[in-house]
Amino acid sequence: MKKNESDAKIILNRLGKLSGFLNNLDADASNDDCFNYPLEIIQKTMMFDVSVLYKVSNLIEDRLILEVVKVLDPKDLRMDLRENRKLRLFLDARDKRYVNEVNAFLNKNVSCLNVPGMGCDVIGYVFFPKECGGAYLFGGDFFGKESSVKDFEVSTVEIMCNFLSTLLLKTQFKHQAEYDALTGLYNSRKIKEELGRVLKRLERKPVLSASIVMGDIDFFKKINDTYGHIQGDLVLKEVGKILTLSMREYFDTAGRYGGEEFLLILDEIEGDHTVQIVERIRKKIAATRFAQVNRSGKIIENQFINITMSFGVAQLNSGESNGGGMASAFETLTEHIGRADTALYTSKENGRNQTTLYKEKIKDADISHRGDQYPL
């Protein structure tokens, strides 16, 4: 039994649509989402019974570790290919079912050998730097004795691999330009850019409001001095996760402003309500037990440290000052950040581990919210 004949013109048309699909893919889409359309082309347009996507998880001596990410197998023919399953393949391709997977990885290209029955007949290699998560393999399996894969089908897989490699690298470079590698939050440049966007919107719609928050980890230098910089990096990473999970989707944004300092933008919210949200974040951080590591980075069992953070809140308002010192959106970005920083400084002066809302008379007793101190 031979594979059903595919139509070169139809495949060429789908490749054109693939280019449009990849260019229009949502910026927040995961790497895996890029492969949805290519997998459909292999399974539906190129007439393979099964299409599969692998992620290269690791290479340990003579074994290649692949994770099955996605499978299109409407007839349930490949019981060995289940999403999230790990395959451990010898690089000398002892298991002939996966000879194309091994060859594609070793040669960094498309491999097309007929594998009767359970075994992909064509597999392509998609380059992605190891430090960014590793490479991908994807291709198709015709569940018969003769694969009858045409040259133009092999070329199609090769073209798709080139498309995807280019897109993934472009996405990664964009991500590196906008995100802080340690915390996963926006970097300083990008969070300032987001603040500028909010300020411009407030200029257009004076009835709206937003708030910015400056947060700083208390006694962070002491953490580095006492436990080492690996511990400090771990704390920054975990704080980044807490802030990410605490942001309202579509409304709030968090960024690492520099060092142990963070800038949050809370959209469509008044200053007092912002303080309530920030207080919940502050208490959550104070209550978190951060795993303790030694200076080589190994986790010390049943050893934890506690940290606290101080916050300063400034309301953004495009209208007139309401007597409480609310800033006009026509003022500079630096001036707005400066207000939040002034409020943060007040929190530090008053004992840390608290949230202060900026007002012209910043030392008014009713604008600070102080919690219990949590020693290191």
What is this structure's pTM? Answer: 0.59
Q: What is the pLDDT of residue 306?
A: 96
Q: Check: CB of residue 43 under 8 Å from CB of residue 78.
A: no
Q: What is the mean pLDDT of each run of 10 residues along the chain (376 residues)?
A: 80 85 67 84 93 92 93 93 94 91 94 90 85 80 84 92 83 75 92 91 82 96 94 96 90 94 93 92 97 92 96 78 40 86 96 92 50 37
Query: CATH topology for 8-174?
Result: Beta-Lactamase (3.30.450)
Please tell us whether the domain made up of 188-370 is placed in CATH 3.10.180.10. no
Q: Would residue 260 show up in a list of annotated catalytic residues for this protein?
A: yes
Q: What is the pLDDT of residue 281?
A: 97
In the chain, where are the structural domains located? Answer: 8-174, 188-370
Q: What is the pLDDT of residue 328?
A: 44
CA-based torsion, 55, 61, 62, 63: positive or negative: negative
- Annotated catalytic residue, options 101, 153, 194, 260: 260
Q: What is the pLDDT of residue 331?
A: 60
